[in-house]
Structure 1
Amino acid sequence: MQYLTLKELPAELRPRERLLANGAASLSDAELLAILLRTGTKQLSAVDLAEMLLVKTRGLPGLLDATVEELSCVKGIGPVKAVQVKAALELGRRLTLSPSAQRATVNSPDDAAALVMDGMRYLDREHFCALLLNTKNHVLSKETISVGTLNSSMVHPRELFKIAIKKSAAGVILVHNHPSGDPTPSSDDISITRRLIESGEILGISVLDHLIIGDNKFVSLKAKGLI
């Protein structure tokens, strides 16, 4: 079988060369994963294969939770690549658990907004996300729960709290963007938030706030007294 390697990509698209020139932070998740995979398949480049794997596992958190056996079943991965990926992810996990690792702490709506503003203010569709917090308000992770249309994003309680339970979160801060740039909450925004608060109370997971992100501005439903 003929494999497409990273060397077959144009120089400006090769993740290794881009990492050397601009640093690891300049690469996407798929490009970093492609460096670990090294080769793709006859139909897919290494980057394409990495993107497909991330889609199948619903991003890096799902990739971390997947077993070697599950990854090995993906065409183009196999046991050797699966072991390499799992080893790299385990090193990253251990780093985040080390005493020296500093987690972001959220003590106010401004703290939460600062963590998501740059990544969400320019999105062209509504993304409904959640910041998962432990009992000390340290951020465990930021999760994308759903992606909607230009002006709506639907979220079901089970999708949110399934992830929160899996991550052992004590509380969540809901976040979604308005592509129009205007963060004014709609009646749907308020009603969905109240429904999620009620669901969280049953499960013992507090919904602490809901931020709506606009163009370099935001609204906190809690600060506005809407929840």
Structure 2
Amino acid sequence: MRISDWPESMRPRERLIGKGAHTLSDTELLAIFFRTGLPGKSAIDLAQEALLHFGSLNRLCSASLDEFCRIDGLGPAKYSQLHAVLELARRTMHEDMENQLELSSSSAARDYLRMRMARLPYETFTVLFLDVRNRLIAHEEMFRGTLTHTSVHPREIVRMALRHNAASVILAHNHPSGCPQPSQHDRELTRMLSSVLSLMDIKVLDHFIIAGRHFHSFADHGEL
């Protein structure tokens, strides 16, 4: 049965307008995004098939173009639209963070970093530069590549902090493997950067490891 043949009170689009997007399931939200299905397969059916195939909404959104297009009814156009929506969400989050009065809470920084880094297929080391009121000044990707094979130069982070006149920083890198546990190298790097930046009176508020849905906060674990 086509969605247009459903009672109006059951149609995802009408329910979203009437009751809000938060009341819809992942399947219903995807169906609205897909808009159309295939002959004999509604948008709801297509959404259910995609979620079943990938196992979760997160894996669907992280899929490569080739993986995405393996589902009959999904192609480059829908893939492009999906990633445009994801990027809009990231940029909206960035604007919120820039306008937020305080970014010192673990949850606020974590949510922002997960939005930016959780789905990256490569390892990256980024720094959030904050002012004296813990408001975001800039988000800079400082290094890219496996940290054990990439030389993280403290002088570059110090130079950028001075350029932005930052009072504090939040360090972050991701583990594409999905395991958020810090390595000994991660701990040594955190201690070294904290020590170097403290000489410039710049405080390291936290160091996050982002691993998909999971994360590790050095501050929350008393490791700073």
Q: State the TM-score, normalizing by the size of structure 1.
A: 0.54
TM-fit CA distance, 1:150: 8.5
Q: Which residue does 1:73 correspond to in 2?
A: none
Task: For residue 132 of structure 1, report the CA deviation from its aligned partner.
Answer: 0.6
Corresponding residue for residue 175 of structure 1? 172
**Secondary structure in 1 matching 2:134:** coil
Q: Structure 1 residue 161: deviation in Å?
A: 1.1
Matched residue count: 136
Answering whether residue 159 of structure 2 is matched by residue 162 of structure 1, we say yes
Alpha carbons 2:104, 2:205 under 8 Å: kept: no
Tell me whether 1:185 sits opposite 2:177 in the alignment.
no
Equivalent runs, 1:8-157 vs 2, <5 Å? 102-103=99-100, 105-149=102-146, 153-157=150-154
8 Å contact kept, 1:128–1:145: yes
Residue of structure 1 in register with 2:40 after alignment = none
> Quick one: structure 1 residues 177 and 129, their matched pair in 2 at CA, closer, same or farther if it must change by over 3 Å?
same
Partner SS for 2:142: strand
Cross-structure match for 1:83: none
Q: Is the 8 A contact 2:194 2:203 kept in 1?
A: yes
Equivalent residue letter for 1:212: I
Measure, in 2, the Cα distance between the counterparts of 1:215 and 1:135. 30
Deviations 1:167-222 (A, max 9, x none): 00000000000010111000000000100011011111111110000111111011
Distance 2:162 2:182 in 1: 27
SS in 2 for 1:143: strand
**Of 199, 208, 211, which aligns to 2:205?**
208
Residue 174 of structure 1 aligns to a residue whose secondary structure is strand
Other structure's SS at 1:203 match: coil
Unaligned 5+ segments in structure 2 are 1-79
User: CA–CA distance in 1 between the matches of 2:137 and 2:154?
Assistant: 19
Aligned to 1:198: 195
- Displacement of 1:129 in angstroms is 0.3
Q: Output the aligned Cα RMSD.
A: 2.8
Larger radius of gyration: 2
Check the 8 A contact 1:182/1:214 in 2, yes or no. Answer: yes
Which position in structure 2 is the counterpart of 1:224?
Answer: 221
Deviation of 1:140 (Å): 0.6
Q: Distance in 2 between matches of 1:120 and 1:155?
A: 18
Query: Does the aligned pair in 2 maintain the 1:151–1:179 contact within 8 Å?
Result: no
Runs of 4+ in 1 over 6 A off after TM superposition: none
Change in Cα spacing, 1:151 to 1:216, as seen in structure 2 (3 Å) is farther
Give the alignment's TM-score, normalised by structure 2: 0.55
Using the alignment, how far apart are the partners of 2:113 and 2:156 within structure 1?
20
Structure 1 runs not aligned, ≥5 long:
1-17, 30-95
Offset of residue 149 of structure 1: 3.2
- The CA distance in 2 between the partners of 1:179 and 1:224, in whole Å, is 21
Kindly state the Cα deviation for residue 126 of structure 1 after the two structures are TM-superposed: 1.1
Secondary structure of 2:99's counterpart equals: coil
Q: 1:130 to 1:119 in 2, by over 3 A?
A: same
Q: Distance in 2 between matches of 1:158 and 1:197?
A: 12
Q: Distance in 2 between matches of 1:197 and 1:111?
A: 21
In the alignment, the residues of structure 2 paired with residue 124 and residue 159 of structure 1 have an alpha-carbon distance, to the nearest angstrom, of: 24
